[in-house]
């Protein structure tokens, strides 16, 4: 009986070690490889003003909440940089008369971390979108677009934090 248990445990151990199984946690950039980080204001290649500040602030807020890295104003070691490469606003659905009933905002970011030599030690590109309902009033339309952009920005910041926690 003890022999069967030993064989079963040995096979189980071999199975998990042969499959490359490992426990999660402790493998990301923010869990050992990068202890200090500064965040540079993102380059805004879009036509939307203040979007660079919105995204940068959301990323800084998520990093502060996570407490996984020491954020500093100016780091010579690691700098999180990025650019807003594209912002697209388009119609998702129209009424039978051709009037837009639902629109969406789509943003694409490029994000990377530079080390003290200026080499990129991590980089990714992210795309996220959010729908909104347009209004015939121009001011309300702009407000709905801005709210959708804020939601996209927050999700992009969360995505960046998750990716940094996962490692390369």
pTM of the model: 0.76
Interatomic CA distance for residues 107 and 67, integer angstroms: 27
- Residues 126-164 pLDDT 10s: 999 999 998 878 899 899 999 999 999 999 999 998 888
**How many other β-carbons are positioned within 10 Å of the β-carbon of residue 62?**
19
Query: Is residue 110 domain-resident?
Result: yes
Q: Which helix (H) or strand (E) holds 147?
A: helix 138-166
Residue 8 lies in a domain: no
Domain of residue 89 covers: 24-166
Q: 25 with 31: CB under 8 angstroms?
A: yes
Q: Is residue 13 a part of any domain in this protein? A: no
Give the orientation angle of helix 138-166 with respect to helix 51-66, to 10 degrees: 40
- The domain total for the chain is 1
For residue 31, tell me if it sits in a domain: yes
The string of pLDDT tens digits covering residues 11-64 is 445 444 444 433 344 455 665 677 788 999 999 999 999 999 999 999 999 998
CATH code for position 131: 3.30.160.150
Residue 32 within a domain: yes
């Amino acid at each position: 009986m003890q022999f069967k248990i030993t064989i079963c445990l040995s096979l189980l151990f071999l199975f998990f070690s042969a499959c490359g199984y490992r426990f999660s946690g402790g493998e990301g950039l923010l869990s050992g490889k990068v202890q200090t980080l500064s965040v540079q204001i993102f380059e805004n290649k879009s036509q939307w003003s203040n979007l660079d500040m919105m995204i940068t602030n959301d990323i800084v807020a998520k990093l502060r909440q996570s407490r996984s890295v020491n954020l500093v104003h100016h780091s010579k070691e690691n700098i999180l940089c990025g650019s807003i490469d594209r912002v697209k606003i388009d119609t998702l659905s129209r009424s039978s008369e051709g009037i837009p009933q639902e629109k969406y905002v789509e943003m694409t970011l490029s994000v990377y971390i530079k080390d003290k030599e200026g080499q990129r030690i991590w980089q990714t590109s992210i795309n996220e979108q959010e729908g909104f309902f347009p209004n015939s009033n121009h001011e309300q339309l702009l407000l709905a677009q801005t709210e959708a952009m804020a939601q996209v920005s927050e999700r992009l910041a969360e995505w960046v934090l998750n990716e940094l926690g996962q490692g390369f």
